[in-house]
Amino acid sequence: MSHQTITRRGLLAGLTGVGLTAGIGSLAFVPTLRTPALDHVSRFNDTMQDTLFSADRLAPTYTDAEITQPFRYNAFYPEAYAPDVDPDTWRLRVDGRVTRPAALSLHDLRQLQAETQITRLICIEGWSAVGKWAGPRLSDVLQAAGADMSAKYVRFDCADGYHSSIDMASALHAQTILALDFLDRPLSRAFGAPMRLRIPVKLGFKNAKFITRISVTNAFPGGYWEDQGYNWFAGL
């Protein structure tokens, strides 16, 4: 490992800390004390994190024995209200800056090579849990749609009205998957069925569940929590 790599990692850790501080600080006084000045600092943190993010740095992986059971549920509403999406009629729209807009079925997504990962989901609210997810890489789906890989953002819209977005480098990361399975079985209703983003290099709120649409765009898409002051980049 080169000296430069170590230095960059140290910087990354430090600046991620700045970003998280901005996020958690905002959390405490959402929405009343969120100010244009703080938003400006948070967007500056996004730029610094994006500059220092190493696209090939892998998130830690765990063993089967380390899986947290039962896994913890979270959303902006209680578990009983999680959407009940019909897997047969569900389609994933892929649009925006793509040459082949698509409406993919679960069958289509199951044709792609699946990646399995045991990783930790870290929620900004102060808990984490290790889970096992599997599904195609987001990069493969973007490639199939002829996405403009030089575009800035990938946006996710969900069946429960939630939305979020990530930078293109993180979208193309090898551990960023469109999870169809959890613990070797199709995702259960509250945990994102039929498909969720699993991106271990980002905080929990970036891991959109019940996705219905993926859009490639250069227009900053924000997100449900991001628009309320959580630091947008939210890298780990």
Ligand X SMILES: Nc1nc2c(c(=O)[nH]1)N[C@H]1C(S)=C(S)[C@@H](COP(=O)(O)O)O[C@H]1N2
In 3D space, the residue among 59, 55, 52 whose CA is nearest the CA of residue 16 turns out to be 52
- Answer with the entry of ligand X, Mo ion, none that 208 interacts with (C-beta below 5 to 8 A by kind): ligand X
For ligand X, which is the closer residue by CB, 207 or 231? 207
Shorter beta-carbon distance to ligand X: residue 75 or 178: 75
**With helix as H, strand as E and coil as C, how does the chain read?**
CCHHHHHHHHHHHHHHHHHHHHHHHHHHCCCCCCCHHHHHHHHHHHHHHHHHCCCCCCCCCCCHHHCCCCCCCCCCCCHHHCCCCCCCCCCEEEEECECCCEEECHHHHHHCCEEEEEEEEEECCCEEEEEEEEEEEHHHHHHHCCECCCCCEEEEEECCCCEEEEEHHHHCCCCCEEECEECCEECCHHHCCCCEEECCCECHHHCCCCEEEEEEECCCCCCCCHHHCCCCCCEC
State the minimum distance, in angstroms, from the CB of residue 123 to Mo ion: 3
Minimum separation from the CB atom of position 30 to ligand X (A) = 13
104: partner contacted, choices ligand X, Mo ion, none (Cβ within 5-8 A by kind)? none
Q: How far is the CB of 200 from Mo ion (least distance, A)?
A: 14
85 binds, among Mo ion, ligand X, none (CB under 5 to 8 A by kind): none
Q: How far is the CB of 124 from ligand X (least distance, A)?
A: 7
Q: Which does 61 bind (CB under 5 to 8 A by kind): ligand X, Mo ion, none?
A: none
By beta-carbon proximity to ligand X, the closer residue of 74 and 139 is 74
Q: How far is the CB of 29 from ligand X (least distance, A)?
A: 18
Helix (H), strand (E) at residue 181: strand 181-182
Residues near ligand X (CB under 6 A) are: 72-76, 121, 123, 158, 160, 162, 191, 204-205, 207-210
By beta-carbon distance, which residue lies closest to ligand X?
A: 204
**Number of Cβ within a 10 Å radius of residue 181:** 16
Q: Least separation, in Å, of the C-beta of 128 and Mo ion?
A: 10
Residue 96, binding choice from Mo ion, ligand X, none, Cβ under 5 to 8 Å by partner class? none
- Say which entry of Mo ion, ligand X, none residue 53 contacts (CB below 5 to 8 A, set by partner kind): none
Q: Which residues bind Mo ion (CB under 5 A)?
A: 123, 204-205
Closest to ligand X by CB, 7 or 125: 125
How many helices (H) and strands (E) would you count in the chain?
Answer: 5, 11
Contacts of 2 (CB under 8 A, 6+ apart): none
Nearer to ligand X, 53 or 182 (CB): 182
Task: Choose between 9 and 71: whose C-beta lies nearer to ligand X.
Answer: 71
